Structure 1
Amino acid sequence: MKNEMSIQQNEELFNILKIRFEKNMNRHENIEWAKVQSKLEANTEKVKSIGEMEITGGEPDVVGYNKETDDYFFFDCSAESPKGRRSICYDHEALESRKEYKPLNSAVNMAVVMGIEILDEEQYRYLQKLGKFDTKISSWVKTPNQIRKLGGAIFCDRRYDNVFTYHNGAESYYAGRGFRGLLKV
């Protein structure tokens, strides 16, 4: 992840986020952009993470607010799994297990470096209530420990107007599979 964003880069990012926020009010009814921006301005590390979500093609947008914790939730809202986060296996263990044709990275590693979390299945299904996402490709989702211990990982997509959850070996990777992230601000 880049160390610092210039003032101009920050302004450009905030402008992109504000325009996206205003175009997609159905994702965040009763949330005011000014309050979201104020929280972002107070959290420079979170702004860097949002910037990484944007740079990798995630098109982050606000999808919720937790009044108890005073957190806004940003999810990747690109139509398909972010382009800059595809052709990756699930986690570091899976990456290390590949003897040949290793991908460049893993979903879990990338999320950690970016300062975000991978959506879990429940969060992925929530996102799908806000629009139609991943109708052509798929996204890794946070895999429960009991599945991962057995060598598997799960991913989701939307086909036939339904959200499906599938499994694969965690070491597998495809050009048409990435991951979607979550950032709490």
Structure 2
Amino acid sequence: MTKSNKELSQEQREELLRTLEARFAKNMNRHNGLEWANVQAKLEANTEKLWSLHEMEATDGEPDVVGHDQKTGEYIFYDCSAESPKGRRSVCYDREALESRKKFKPENNAMDMATAMGIELLTEEDYRELQKLGNFDMKTSSWVLTPAKIRKLGGAIFCDRRYDTVFMYHNGAESYYGARGFRGSLKV
């Protein structure tokens, strides 16, 4: 993608900032002690990151601030949609898995999509932190960043919430399901 493809129009930026501000105000439990004005200033200074948030929003991720890194000054956004983002489901884990399928290939894979959006897949730890902020993936599941050792053996991991418990599971990286997508994170 060229840099020009990663630029939002003024109208798109304003609409996205309004959406993010409204979500921020509605879900203060996700970011106690943080002020929207500081988040907005950071976003306006990092338009490429704003583009990534737009991509998260466009795929129904409902990104929201979930933390602030005191060392770097960065705000941390996660996909906070109740279920795995609709626009990112029915994907296998990565390109290698996609290419290994002989038939019934999905249209895409989680790792390439995340890279194209400029975001990272949540780690298992990130996912568990997200679940402390609410009940997510009660009907769906989300691929999470898989350790190299597991991936080398052909597997990938995903998480969901059932029975008031967060579970981590494994599957072949080439598998895909209509109810499994992925959640991302972005630091701004």
TM-score, structure 1 as length reference: 0.99
Q: Distance in 1 between matches of 2:31 and 2:54?
A: 20
Inter-partner Cα distance in structure 2 for 1:128 and 1:154: 17
* Partner in structure 1 of residue 88 of structure 2: 85
Alignment counterpart, residue 46 of structure 1, candidates 45, 49, 65: 49
**In structure 2, how many angstroms separate the alpha carbons of the residues matched to 1:151 and 1:120?**
18
Letter in structure 1 aligned against 2:112: N
Aligned to 1:65, which of 59, 62, 68? 68
Opposite residue 26 of structure 1, the aligned amino acid is: N
Query: How far apart, CA to CA, are the structure 1 residues paired with 2:7 and 2:71?
Result: 31
Q: Deviations over 1:123-160 (max 9, x none)?
A: 00000000000000100000001100000000000000
Q: Secondary structure at the match of 1:153?
A: strand
Determine if the alignment matches structure 1 residue 23 to structure 2 residue 5: no
Whole-Å separation in 1 of the counterparts to 2:17 and 2:24: 10
Letter in 2 for 1:130: L
2:153 is aligned with 1:150:
yes
CA displacement, residues 84-134 of structure 1 (integer Å, 9 cap, x when unaligned): 000000000000101110001000000000000000000000000000000
Q: Could you tell me which residue of structure 2 aligns to residue 173 of structure 1?
A: 176
Q: Which runs of 5+ in 2 are unaligned?
A: none
Q: What CA distance in whole angstroms lies between the structure 1 residues aligned with 2:22 and 2:50?
A: 16
Q: Counterpart in 1 of 2:110?
A: 107
Q: Distance in 2 between matches of 1:115 and 1:4?
A: 13
User: Match of 1:96?
Assistant: 99
Code of the residue aligned with 2:133 in structure 1: it is L
- Percentage of pairs with the same residue: 70
2:58 matched residue in structure 1 = 55
RMSD: 0.7
- Deviation (angstroms), 1:78: 0.1
Give the SS at the match of 1:5: coil
What whole-Å deviation, never above 9, does each CA across 1:8-42 have from its counterpart, x for those lacking one? 11100000000000000000000000000000000
Report the count of equivalent residues.
185
Q: How far does residue 5 in structure 1 lie from its aligned partner after superposition? A: 1.1
Deviation at 1:4, TM superposition (A): 2.4
- Indicate yes or no: 2:186 matched with 1:183: yes
Unaligned runs of 5+ in 1: none
